[in-house]
Structure 1
Amino acid sequence: MNQEVYITDYNCVTPLGFDVSSNWTALLEGKSGVGLHQIIQNQPHFYASMIDAEKVNKEFNENFNRDQLDNQSFTKLEKMLMLSLKPLVERHPVSEHTAFILSTTKGNISLLKNESALPEGVFLPNLARKIADFFGFKSKPIIVSNACVSGVMAIAVAKSMIRTGKYKNAFVIAGDEISEFVISGFNSFQAIGTEICKPYDKSRDGINIGEAAAAVYITSEPKNNETFCFKISGDSAVNDANHISGPSRTGDGLFASIKNAMAEAQISTSQIDFISAHGTATLYNDEMEAIAFNRMELEQVPLNSLKAYYGHCLGASGLLESIISMESALNNTLIPSKNFEEPGTSQPLNIIRENQSADIQYILKTASGFGGCNSALVLEKM
């Protein structure tokens, strides 16, 4: 079935705010959630974008009463995910034809700290089932955990599931939190930046890890009273099998993903109004993206990375950045790629440097990750 599928609602929880409107206001003001944090005891501070645990607890207690919780305890990540999802479930009914999809790379991995045995909550199916059961989902949860393309791929998976005819709508949630495990891993690659990151800039020296939760509602039957509607016009995921952690030097996987997504959307390069790129601020990722975008003749299209605002939120990054890109389209405003000053890639890119007005109909969202995975998504404002 070639049924049309749409995104008609979304929400997010980040260091910049616990809803989309507060996040959008913070972005317009150029605020960043990245700061110095001591994540590993007796180790140096790292630049990262962290959500204050006390704020999460306060917001959670205000939104969920004890009777609802049924004596269950919830981790910080679970609370973030539930806070992002709750407004959507309140606005859209859940039925047996509703899919539930969780995007995450590490889930509750922080539960492994100082544990001699594996806690049940650390397994991703258990995390997904716990949240699905709480909100009354009737279908079996689907998990998308494919490195840093997970958030973008989860949207594509929802579209495919709805097109089978088994589901009429889907809720996609995404979340990851900062942990010693994640910081230690990226630090071992010498990939963590010494300051707030600078995507595509000549002086960039690495990423900032971030944490966030996000949720979108996807449907084949948009209602007339929806405040907005974006068609998922095209998507693609291609693995270039280049390296376990290093991106392709030729951009083959990302190039193919973009080409396939645009072909499905039946649009040309000239119709893309804005690119929400991955932009990790590592030397090789930004260079690979520049090559791929130039191969697709997209070098003149306005482009940004949100990593200097949110850090790299792993499995949540693609979904969160898709939400912000749609918010940009609704507000006819392009957000600058923070901290970009001097081009640092061999191929030219049209990096957005300041808030600017723009008529945005077609959005290209891209993501790349470990293991050679690449994903692209074309969203059309209706």
Structure 2
Amino acid sequence: MSGVFVAADNITSPIGPTTGTNFAQLKKGISGVKLHTDTALGNEPFYAALFNKDQFTPNNQYTKFEQLLIASITDALANCEVDATDKKTALIISTTKGNISLLETGENNEALKKRIALPTSAKLVAAHFGFVNRPVIISNACISGIMAILTGMRLIQSGQYENVVVAGADEITKFVLSGFQSFQAISNEPCKPFDADRTGITLGEGAATVILSSNPKYADGVKVLAGAVSNDANHISAPSRTGEELGFAITKTLKQAYVNAHDVDFISAHGTATSYNDEMEAKAIAFAGLQNIPTNSLKGFYGHTLGAAGLIESIISMQSLKENVVLPTLGFNSMGVSAPLNICTTLLQGNYTTFMKTASGFGGCNAAVLFSKT
């Protein structure tokens, strides 16, 4: 099977327009989460990580969602030699909501239905860069970003493509915010993953791109080893009570990569700061024998960026691997889950070679992916 290397990446977020600027800010403990009073999004003040209003303004050609994707892909492609127009290069788009905001402003007719469809956005983005292959869309709740990376890895391993550009984005709209508010899942303060006093999710918007390649000359220090997905079949919005299903995805990933649990240096957890998700994820990590491995959640910095979350958090963890540091979990003070976890509370330094990224989402979906230094 071909090795799958990370050739380049980008994070476009309220914290910064590149991976480098994002990671530098996170090492200083700077978060993109702020209190907002935008009545176009919500009637009451809410915490979120949002772009300034003058950034990524929709125009006649591209929506905000599409502009986010284009900005992220542009920077990633500029930092490697992968050619978007090569027939051996594929494009994968990851999102949960796409252009759902158009429902709030447009007339409900056939033209709107066509414009709001994810294939429409994917084709526009692909055409902007000259991709010759039909883009692939991954939209599977909050595991979309990780699932897109795994799909890219498998497309390369199958021999169909040599390079895959994996990009994900989501924006926060009234539709999205009100949906989480209807679950009473939005925190009334910046989220506190795994903390005893956590009160729910903080949302965020952003985009990210990871360019994968089978060509070792494009390798930029990190490779994708393996990954797996599973499903709880428990409830449309509530996760498993045992964590075994996410635990299965983690243990299957380790088995595929021929890596022992104690050889994982750190875990980038999903860590949404909801009572049920954090509890389930803690049990899953313990189920897989990783309870002593340093673990963090980046939601305190970015909020939950939905379809971009798995990509953003994987990229930040890749930077952690390269610089041999593990970031703390912003907002965590005291353990609030029943299973033992080794939550990072300060910036850790060491000699790190491998990390695990996990995610879970509505519909009971779970995913895990393992990265290592080349």
TM range, smaller chain: over 0.9
Residue identity opposite 1:51 in structure 2:
F
1:63 is aligned to none
1:343 is aligned to 335
CA offset digits 1:151-170 (Å, max 9, x no partner): 00000000111122121110
Q: Does 1:235 align with 2:227?
A: yes
Aligned with 2:150 (options 141, 152, 156) = 156
- Alignment length (residue pairs): 367
Q: What is the rounded CA distance, in whole Å, between the counterparts of 2:151 and 2:266 in structure 1?
A: 23
CA offset digits 1:62-103 (Å, max 9, x no partner): xxxxxxxxx952222211111100023333212011110000
- Once the two structures are superposed, the pairs formed by residues 169-188 of structure 1 within 5 Å of their partners are 169-188=163-182
| Stretch of structure 1 that moved more, 32-41 or 272-281 | 32-41
Q: What is the rounded CA distance, in whole Å, between the counterparts of 2:215 and 2:60 in structure 1?
A: 35
The structural deviation recorded for 1:56 is 3.7
1:68 is aligned to none
Alignment check: 8 A CA contact 1:222 1:229 kept:
no
1:191 is aligned to 185
Q: What is the rounded CA distance, in whole Å, between the counterparts of 1:222 and 1:181 in structure 2?
A: 43
Aligned with 1:299 (options 291, 295, 306) = 291
Aligned with 1:93 (options 67, 83, 93) = 83
Q: What is the rounded CA distance, in whole Å, between the counterparts of 1:269 and 1:24 in structure 2?
A: 27
Q: Does 1:109 align with 2:100?
A: yes
Q: What is the rounded CA distance, in whole Å, between the counterparts of 2:301 and 2:75 in structure 1?
A: 24
2:61 is aligned to 73
Q: Compute the RMSD of aligned alpha carbons.
A: 1.4
| Percent identity of paired positions between Structure 1 and Structure 2 | 44
Q: What is the rounded CA distance, in whole Å, between the counterparts of 2:64 and 2:350 in structure 1?
A: 37
Aligned with 1:126 (options 120, 129, 137) = 120
1:352 is aligned to 344
1:28 is aligned to 27
SS of 1:113's equivalent in the other structure is: helix
Q: Does 1:207 align with 2:195?
A: no
Q: Does 1:47 align with 2:47?
A: yes
Give the gaps of 5 or more residues in structure 1: 61-70
Q: What is the rounded CA distance, in whole Å, between the counterparts of 2:53 and 2:88 in structure 1?
A: 35
CA offset digits 1:206-242 (Å, max 9, x no partner): 0001101000110011216x5x232211100001111
| Stretch of structure 1 that moved more, 107-116 or 325-334 | 107-116
1:365 is aligned to 357
The structural deviation recorded for 1:38 is 3.0
CA offset digits 1:322-362 (Å, max 9, x no partner): 00000001111110000110100011111111112121111
Aligned with 1:277 (options 269, 272, 297) = 269
Q: What is the rounded CA distance, in whole Å, between the counterparts of 1:360 and 1:202 in structure 2?
A: 29
The structural deviation recorded for 1:39 is 4.4
Q: What is the rounded CA distance, in whole Å, between the counterparts of 1:222 and 1:54 in structure 2?
A: 40
The structural deviation recorded for 1:40 is 4.4
